[in-house]
């Protein structure tokens, strides 16, 4: 996995030594700008920065997770481009993808940490159990210890997937393992609310001042692959972390709601909703709001970046958005229950739409009071019945 001779080279040199032409490199930069939702005017700047970028060391830790995030990344549709990004980092530890295992793998992690202390990027997928260190261990090391030790020497931490970003499914009610997100674990640590950390880890965490590490959250269940690589590329290109929103998500990808970029939005604005999955409205491609669409409260890039080779996204296939990139989406009260009421700032919506206030009136009227109360009352655990409705 690690290629030491390549480590000192710039990305431009690595690419040239692999016979990648300048023209191909320009194509790579154009695709990168597009996937990072950057203006095409940035293409020459990206080209210039990547040309001279050095390959950063990346340590990827997987805790309580389903490997869906790694699957998403390795199934990325831009095969060549993704592999170039992969080649442009030095992935020094990823226990699912690496050949080494057990103590040999841990030695590789420690070597990479020592060699690049303060400079490597730590990627985490999965949440961290805090109730009992024995709930999840790797080579006999508890997730909590491994995370705190490795975080101590990182330049930045990227929480990949909803589990690392917010706790995700392991954190869902009743959270049997005491699972928390990267951000929450560090917060608990700084408030002295964590037990079960070894003294060696405590020393290391203090030495690396864990509490001040920048954390970038890339939620989604799983996140869109190009969003993961986009964040890595941003770091590689500019040597900084991208601009983040209040939940620590890069604004380039999470800056707008699914609803804001949904092609079914004109139907929402006209108050035209599918009521069931096979009625006339569903066949005509009307808005899925009443079928439980969480698009209005969900910030993610699905509506423009899309999934499966850019083919489509859930709403385009006729299924409401589940809201997987938002905190506690699993405990949100049922995937097929409508949001209690349109959550947008109404004046804002009116400005946004050509149809204006009249259309919003229709949408609001559609959600009558009793329905709203039902929806609020139903904000508890999802049951099998909910899923089958």
Partner 1 sequence: MSDFSIVQFNIQIGDDLTHNVKPLLHEIKHGLDKLVETGQTSIIDLRSIPLAPGEEDKILSMLGQGEVQAQLNALGLSEVTETQYAGVWIVTHYNDENHIISRFIEVTTMPEILCSQTEDIMAAYSRLTVSLEDNV
Please, which residues have CB within 8 angstroms of residue 43's CB and are 6 or more apart in sequence?
A: 26, 29, 30, 33
Q: Between 281 and 296, whose beta carbon lies closer to ligand SF4?
A: 296
> What would the two tokens of residue 386 be?
């909910």
- Report the residue number, 251 or 283, with the smaller CB distance to partner 1: 283
| Closest alpha carbon to 245 in 294, 300, 196 | 300
384 part of the interface to partner 1, by CB under 8 A: no
Among 4, 5, 8, 40, binds partner 1 (CB under 8 A): 40
313 burial type by CB count under 10 A (0-12 exposed, 13-18 middle, 19+ buried): buried
> Site size for partner 1, by CB under 8 A?
44
Minimum CB separation of residue 292 from partner 1 in Å reads: 18
Residues 99-118 that bind partner 1 (CB under 8 A): none
State residue 279 phi and psi, 5-degree precision: -85, 180
Which of 102, 310, 356, 361 is the binder for partner 1 (CB under 8 A)? 310
CA-to-CA distance for 385 and 295, rounded, in angstroms? 22
Q: How many helices (H) and strands (E) does the chain have?
A: 21, 9
Does residue 245 belong to the site contacting partner 1 (CB under 8 A)? no
Using CB distances below 5 to 8 A depending on partner kind, what does residue 16 bind out of ligand SF4, partner 1, none?
partner 1
Query: Pick from partner 1, ligand SF4, none: which does 295 bind, CB < 5 to 8 A by kind?
Result: ligand SF4
Beta bridge partners of 123: 60, 158
Burial level of 34, CB count in 10 A (0-12/13-18/19+)?
middle
Report residue 342 as tokens.
Answer: 């349109």
From ligand SF4, partner 1, none, interface partner of 296 (C-beta below 5 to 8 A by class): ligand SF4
User: Which of residues 107 and 279 has its CB atom nearest to ligand SF4 in the complex?
Assistant: 279
Under the binding rule (CB under 8 A), the answer on residue 20 touching partner 1 is yes
Partner from ligand SF4, partner 1, none binding residue 330, C-beta < 5-8 Å depending on class: none
Q: How far apart are the first and last CA of the chain?
A: 47
The two structure tokens encoding residue 291: 């079928």
DSSP assignment of 365-380: HHS-HHHHHHHHHT-S
Stretch that binds partner 1, among 109-117, 118-126, 262-270, 287-295 (CB under 8 A): 262-270
Cα 76 from chain centroid?
Answer: 14
Residue listed under structure tokens 């079914």:
264
Q: What is the dihedral of CA 340, 262, 335, 342, to 10 degrees?
A: 0
Residue of the chain from 146, 288, 303, 360 that contacts partner 1 (CB under 8 A):
303
Q: Note whether 74 binds partner 1 by CB under 8 A.
A: no
The entry of ligand SF4, partner 1, none that residue 23 binds, CB within 5 to 8 Å by partner kind? partner 1
For ligand SF4, the closer CB: 78 or 300 = 300
Instruction: Quote the least distance from Cβ 301 to ligand SF4, whole Å.
Output: 8
Answer yes or no: are the C-beta atoms of 144 and 186 closer than 8 Å. no
**Chain residues that interact with ligand SF4, rule: CB under 6 A:** 220, 258-259, 262, 264-265, 268, 287-289, 293, 295-296, 298, 300, 302, 313-315, 321-325
Among 37, 112, 146, 179, binds partner 1 (CB under 8 A): 37
Q: How many whole angstroms separate alpha carbon 384 and alpha carbon 129?
A: 26
Which residue lies nearer to partner 1 by CB, 204 or 294?
A: 294
Closer of 198 and 304 to partner 1 (Cβ): 304
8 Å CB contact between 370 and 345: no
333 scored as a contact of partner 1 (CB under 8 A): no
Pairing of strands 128-129, 179-180: antiparallel
Q: Which does 22 bind (CB under 5 to 8 A by kind): partner 1, ligand SF4, none?
A: partner 1
Measured distance CA(8)–CA(14) in Å, rounded: 10
Q: Is 10 one of the binding residues for partner 1 (CB under 8 A)?
A: no
Interface with partner 1 (CB under 8 A): 16, 20-24, 26-28, 30-31, 33-35, 37, 39-41, 43, 77-81, 84, 261-263, 265-266, 278, 282-285, 303-305, 309-310, 312, 316, 318, 354
């Amino acid at each position: 996995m690690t290629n030491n001779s390549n480590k000192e080279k710039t990305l431009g040199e690595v690419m040239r030594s692999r016979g990648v032409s300048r023209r191909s490199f320009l194509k790579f930069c154009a695709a990168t700008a597009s996937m990072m939702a950057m203006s095409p005017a940035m293409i020459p700047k990206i080209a210039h920065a990547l040309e001279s970028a050095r390959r950063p060391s990346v340590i990827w830790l997987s805790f309580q997770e389903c490997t869906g995030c790694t699957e998403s990344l390795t199934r990325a549709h831009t095969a060549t481009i993704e592999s170039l990004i992969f080649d442009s980092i030095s992935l020094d530890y990823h226990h699912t993808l690496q050949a080494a295992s057990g103590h040999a793998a841990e030695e590789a992690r420690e070597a990479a940490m020592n060699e690049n202390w303060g400079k490597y990027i730590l990627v985490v997928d999965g949440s961290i159990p805090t109730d009992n260190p024995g709930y999840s261990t790797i080579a006999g090391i508890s997730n909590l210890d491994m995370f705190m030790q490795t975080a101590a020497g990182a330049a930045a931490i990227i929480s990949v997937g909803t589990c690392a970003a917010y706790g995700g499914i392991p954190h869902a009610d009743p959270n049997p393992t005491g699972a928390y997100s990267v951000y929450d674990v560090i917060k608990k640590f700084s408030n002295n609310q964590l037990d079960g950390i070894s003294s060696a880890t405590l020393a290391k965490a203090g030495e690396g001042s864990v509490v001040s590490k920048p954390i970038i959250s890339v939620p989604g269940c799983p996140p869109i692959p190009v969003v993961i690589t986009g964040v890595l590329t941003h770091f590689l290109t500019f040597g900084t972390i991208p601009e983040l929103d209040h939940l620590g998500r890069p604004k380039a990808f999470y800056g707008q709601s699914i609803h804001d970029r949904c092609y079914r939005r004109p139907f929402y604005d006209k108050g035209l909703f599918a009521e069931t999955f096979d009625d006339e409205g569903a066949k005509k491609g009307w808005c899925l709001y009443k079928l439980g669409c969480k698009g209005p409260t969900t910030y993610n890039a699905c509506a423009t970046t899309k999934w499966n080779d850019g083919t489509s996204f859930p709403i385009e296939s006729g299924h409401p958005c589940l809201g997987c990139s938002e905190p506690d989406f699993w405990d949100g009260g049922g995937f097929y229950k409508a949001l209690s009421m349109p959550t947008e700032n109404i004046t804002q919506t009116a400005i946004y739409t050509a149809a204006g206030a009249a259309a919003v009136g229709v949408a609001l009227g559609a959600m009558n009071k009793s329905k709203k109360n039902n929806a609020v009352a139903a904000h508890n655990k999802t049951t099998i019945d909910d899923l089958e409705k």
